[in-house]
Amino acid sequence: MNDHGISVADRLSDLTACIDFLDRAGQLIRVRSEVDPVFELAGIARQLEGTGCVLFERVRGSRFPVLCGLLADRDTVGQLFALPAAQVPFAIADAVSAWKKAPAALVPRLLDQAPANEVIAAPDLQALPIPQHALKDGGRYLDASLVVARNPRSGGLNISVHRMMVTGRDRLSFLIDPGRHLGDYVQIAEERGVPLEVSICNGAGLAAWFAGALPRLGDNKHHVAHHLIGRPLDMVRGQTVNVPAFANSQFVIEAEVLPGLREDEGPFGEVTGFYGGRDRRWVMQVKAITHRKSPVLHTVLSGPEVWNTVGLTAEAAIYRALKARHPEVTAVFLPPGGCGFYVAVIQVDAPAPGAGQQIIREAFAAFRSLQRVVVVDSDVNIFDPVDVDWAITTRFNADTGLLILPGEEGHILNPMVSIAEDGKSGTVTKIGMDATVPPGDPARFERVGYQPVDLRDHDISGSGRR
């Protein structure tokens, strides 16, 4: 792949270098007319989604541009990694394994000065081009920023992604999903009656972004980003908080989570395509804002960008968990129709009778957000929803291949999940479908085949020629 003079490490760790690479590679769409950050920006981005990454150069009310669509297309992400798209999940999984094997192998520098604090600005969120995406969103949202927090007990750092709604010039309300370490840290701080300091990093680069999206890894999982690029990612000290930020961030918002206080947050257009509801949620008080001399605000649209983030971080982990016990597993895909979290298609080669249902159970255990798992044979293209549907239609027998698991742990953003009274968890009925060739009569299920030909050997013209 052509690197266009920009190394993989730079384009994964520096959003400015990433944008430069996309521009040189012909993958950047520039919107030069002024756009309103309230609804109009997202409306344009949605129509252009998947055709390229979109840079809005003039956003009304701010002097800073906005980037959207960076994660909407897996092939584009593959280009940034200099890998085929199907190999990106394994690069992320390899980085996780390398970090677990040698957690102190790549230690970042802690700097006083860095690109992220070239400009020390007033703590005024209204000066930033933070967009309001969906028509019923409760306000403007930071939805592509990493929250860096310090474990109050161990002192280790954790990074995570949260939706954060602007409620004032120096105030945010935000959601913490159940099971997040940030929720544990806030609870500890509240029990002590003290605020929890955080650094909110926007535009920290894809290596940090994917590290932040990885679930349940705990302290210092930001080191996964170091292993993704083969060198440490520098950090920079805060101006007002004892929590560092990624030194290459476009913007850093220093804040503290206020103890015992809840304010309205939501609605917000979520990953499911529905609105996450409004409720009384956690509050941050902004203390400082720093940024680069020429920063770009990064935002994502709920949809393919989130689905790809989840799929790219989860598929290899599921694959390796299954492959260790079932050598017949050959591939795993979390398709867009499953919103990244909820559906897995698993490809197997010559499974033993009954193996399909065991693989389904283990897939649910490997990634607990899943609600439906389909197992298909190696002659089925798991990346083609038509081919997967064909396998279900012609090879799935509900009498013998259907697995129903009621009362299982569910992901609370899915509206089909029954939420517990405490609002922190929920349950759902999960289903698995073994759509592999039934044992005993494989000849009946042989796919029709045709002779392979090279069309370049033939003189062909007309509208059907591609």
Tell me which residue range forms the domain holding 170.
86-299
pLDDT for residue 438 is more than 70: yes
pLDDT in tens, 282-304: 999 999 999 999 999 999 999 99
Note the pLDDT of residue 3.
80
In this structure, the answer to whether residues 276 and 196 fall within a common structural domain is yes
Residue 460 placed within a domain: no
Q: Residue 54 falls within a domain, yes or no?
A: no
In a shared domain, residues 354 and 229: no
Q: Is residue 47 part of a domain?
A: no
- 106, 236: one domain: yes
Domain with residue 407: its CATH number is 3.40.1670.10
Cβ-count burial 112-121 (b if 16+ within 10 Å, e if not) = eebbbbeeee
pLDDT digit string, tens, across residues 321-348:
999 999 999 999 999 999 989 999 999 9
Whether 450 is covered by a domain: the verdict is no
- pLDDT tier at 375, thresholds 50, 70, 90: very high
- Residue 256 pLDDT class (50, 70, 90 cuts): very high
Name the strands in the sheet holding 28-31, side by side, starting at the edge strand that comes first in the sequence: 28-31, 53-56, 66-68, 297-298
Give the pLDDT confidence of 207-246 residue by residue, as tens digits: 999 999 998 888 999 999 999 999 999 999 999 999 999 9
Residues 382 and 268 in one domain: no
Final residue before a domain boundary, out of 241, 264, 299: 299
Residues 242 and 360 in one domain: no
Task: Check whether residue 108 and residue 200 sit in a common domain.
Answer: yes
The mean pLDDT value for 200-207 works out to 98
N-term to C-term CA, the chain: 24
Helical pair 304-323 and 88-101, crossing angle rounded to 10 deg: 60
> Is residue 465 included in any domain, yes or no?
no
Res. 1 pLDDT band, cuts 50 70 90: low
CATH number of the domain that residue 233 is part of: 2.30.110.10
Q: Which pLDDT score, from 0 to 100, does residue 2 have?
A: 63
Question: Is residue 239 one of the residues assigned to a domain?
Answer: yes
Tokens, residue 48: 């252009």
* Position 179 pLDDT exceeds 60: yes
Rounded Cα distance, 298 and 410, in Å: 30
* 308 — pLDDT class (breaks 50, 70, 90): very high
d(CA 262, CA 147): 18
Do 286 and 330 fall within a single domain? no
> For the chain, how many structural domains are there in total?
2
Same domain, 290 and 386: no
Residues 137, 238, single domain; the answer is yes
Q: How many helices (H) and strands (E) does the chain have?
A: 12, 24
Residue 387 lies in a domain: yes
Tokens 């649209």 belong to residue = 301
d(CA 24, CA 18): 10
Q: What percent of the chain has pLDDT over 70?
A: 99
**Domain shared by 210 and 109, yes or no:** yes
Q: What DSSP element (H or E) covers 419?
A: strand 418-419
pLDDT per residue as tens digits for the range 33-56: 999 999 999 999 999 999 999 999
Stretch 256-275: mean pLDDT:
96
User: Residue 464 above 70 pLDDT?
Assistant: no
Look at residue 105 and tell me if it is in a domain: yes
How much is the pLDDT for 441? 81
Same domain, 372 and 334: yes
Q: Are strands 343-348 and 279-291 parallel, antiparallel or unpaired?
A: unpaired
Q: What are phi and psi of 27, to 5 degrees?
A: -110, 10
Report CA dihedral (69, 87, 452, 388) to the nearest 10 degrees.
-70
- Give yes or no for residue 420 having a pLDDT over 90: no
* pLDDT (tens digit per residue) in 400-414: 999 999 999 988 888
pLDDT at 465 over 60: no
**Angstrom distance (rounded) from CA 43 to CA 54:** 12
Is the model more confident about 94 or about 465? 94
Q: Are 180 and 263 in a shared domain?
A: yes
Predicted pLDDT at 466: 53
Question: Final residue of a domain: which of 299, 333, 357?
Answer: 299
Predicted pLDDT of residue 379: 95
> What mean pLDDT is reported for the chain?
95
